[in-house]
C-alpha cells in the first residue's frame, strides 16, 4: 500500500488500541470530528462517522487478540497511583463488596454501566477474577459507581445499583445490568432491577431520590482524590479493615486476568 494509506491505517490501529486500553472517556463530539478531519490526508478524508465504524471493528479485533497475546508486566513506577502514594488510603466500607471479610487484598473497580469497556471487563474478565481470587478468599472486590458526564442512563443504572445494595441484592442487579447488550432507556433499567427486588415500591422511591447525585460522588481517601480520567480503572492494594492502604497499584481500561494476577502476585510476595 502507499505511504499515505499505510500511515492512515497505522494511525487507526493506534487509535483503536488506545481506546481499548484507556476505556470510556468524555470527549465532545465536535472535538473528535475536527481531530479526525485534520489527521486525514486530503485524498483520503472521510466522515468522522465512517472512521468511528472502522475503529469499532479494529477494537473488536484487538479484543479478540488480547487473550492470545502475552501481557508484559508494567514497571512499579507505571503501576503506582500517581502522586504521594504512601500517603493515600481509600475507605471501602460504603462500597458494595464481594468476597471474604478476611481477604488481605482488595480491588476497587470504578465502573459505568453505560461504558462498553466496563461491560467488556464484566463479560470477559470478571468471571475469572471471581473464580481465581474472590471465591478463594484472596481478594475482596468492591464497586464504585462513576457514570461519566453525558452518560444519563449510566446515572440511572448507578442509582439502581445503589438502591439494590440497600435491598441486599446488589450483585444480582449488577450482573443483570451488565448482561444487557446496551442500556436503552430508564424503563428498561427499572424493569431489569425490579425483577431482583422483593419490594419494588421501596426500590422505586429510593431510585427517584438517588438519581442525579453521581457526578458529585468521590472516593473517600487520604492524600487527595484519585484522578479518574475514564472508566474502568482498578485500584489494587492491601486491606486494613475497611481501608485500602498504600502502596496502591492502578490498572486502566480493559485488562487481562494476567495483568491482575501480576499485581496480586506482587502483593503476595511482599507479605511472604
Asked which of 136-140, 223-227, 247-251 is least confident by mean pLDDT, the reply is: 223-227
pLDDT at 86: 43
Q: What does the alpha-carbon distance between residue 49 and residue 60 come to, in Å, rounded to a whole number?
A: 17
Q: Name the band, by pLDDT with cuts 50, 70 and 90, for residue 77.
A: very low
pTM: 0.69
Angle at 112 between CA 258 and CA 187, to 5 degrees: 135
Q: What does the alpha-carbon distance between residue 30 and residue 23 come to, in Å, rounded to a whole number?
A: 20
- Distance of CA 181 to CAs 123, 175, 234, Å? 11, 12, 23
Query: CA nearest 254: which of 236, 233, 229, 235?
Result: 233
- pLDDT of residue 62 exceeding 50, the answer is yes
DSSP notation for 120-153? HHIIIIIHHHIIIIITTTSEEEEEEE-PPTT-HH
Q: Which three cell numbers stand for residue 251?
A: 490498572
DSSP notation for 253-270? SS--HHHHHHHHHHHHHH
- pLDDT of residue 68 exceeding 60, the answer is no
Q: What is the mean pLDDT of the chain?
A: 74
Q: Which three cell numbers stand for residue 22?
A: 484507556
pLDDT at 91: 87
Q: Phi, psi (5° rounding) for residue 84?
A: -80, 80
**What value does the mean pLDDT take over residues 197-220?**
68
Residues paired with residue 252 on neighbouring β-strands, in sequence order = 233
Q: What does the alpha-carbon distance between residue 118 and residue 175 come to, in Å, rounded to a whole number?
A: 12
Amino acid at each position: 500500500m502507499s505511504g499515505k494509506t499505510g500511515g492512515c491505517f497505522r494511525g487507526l490501529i493506534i487509535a483503536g488500541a488506545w481506546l481499548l486500553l484507556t476505556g470510556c472517556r468524555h470527549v465532545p463530539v465536535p472535538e473528535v470530528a475536527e481531530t479526525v478531519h485534520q489527521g486525514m490526508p486530503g485524498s483520503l478524508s472521510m466522515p468522522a462517522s465512517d472512521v468511528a465504524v472502522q475503529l469499532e471493528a479494529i477494537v473488536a479485533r484487538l479484543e479478540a487478540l488480547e487473550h492470545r497475546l502475552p501481557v508484559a508486566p508494567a514497571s512499579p513506577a507505571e503501576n503506582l497511583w500517581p502522586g504521594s502514594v504512601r500517603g493515600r488510603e481509600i475507605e471501602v466500607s460504603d462500597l458494595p463488596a464481594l468476597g471474604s471479610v478476611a481477604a488481605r487484598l482488595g480491588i476497587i473497580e470504578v465502573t459505568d454501566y453505560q461504558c462498553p469497556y466496563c461491560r467488556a471487563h464484566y463479560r470477559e474478565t470478571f468471571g475469572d477474577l471471581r473464580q481465581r481470587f474472590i471465591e478463594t478468599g484472596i481478594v475482596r472486590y468492591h464497586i464504585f459507581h462513576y457514570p461519566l458526564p453525558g452518560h444519563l442512563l449510566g446515572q440511572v443504572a448507578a442509582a439502581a445499583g445503589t438502591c439494590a445494595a440497600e435491598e441486599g441484592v446488589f450483585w444480582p442487579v449488577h450482573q443483570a445490568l451488565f448482561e444487557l447488550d446496551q442500556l436503552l432507556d430508564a424503563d428498561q433499567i427499572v424493569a431489569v432491577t425490579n425483577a431482583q427486588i422483593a419490594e419494588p415500591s421501596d426500590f422505586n422511591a429510593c431510585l427517584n431520590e438517588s438519581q442525579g447525585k453521581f457526578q458529585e460522588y468521590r472516593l473517600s481517601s487520604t492524600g487527595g482524590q484519585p484522578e479518574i480520567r475514564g472508566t474502568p480503572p482498578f485500584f489494587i492494594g492491601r486491606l486494613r479493615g475497611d481501608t485500602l492502604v498504600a502502596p496502591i497499584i492502578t490498572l486502566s481500561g480493559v485488562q487481562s486476568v494476567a495483568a491482575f494476577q501480576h499485581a496480586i502476585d506482587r502483593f503476595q510476595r511482599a507479605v511472604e
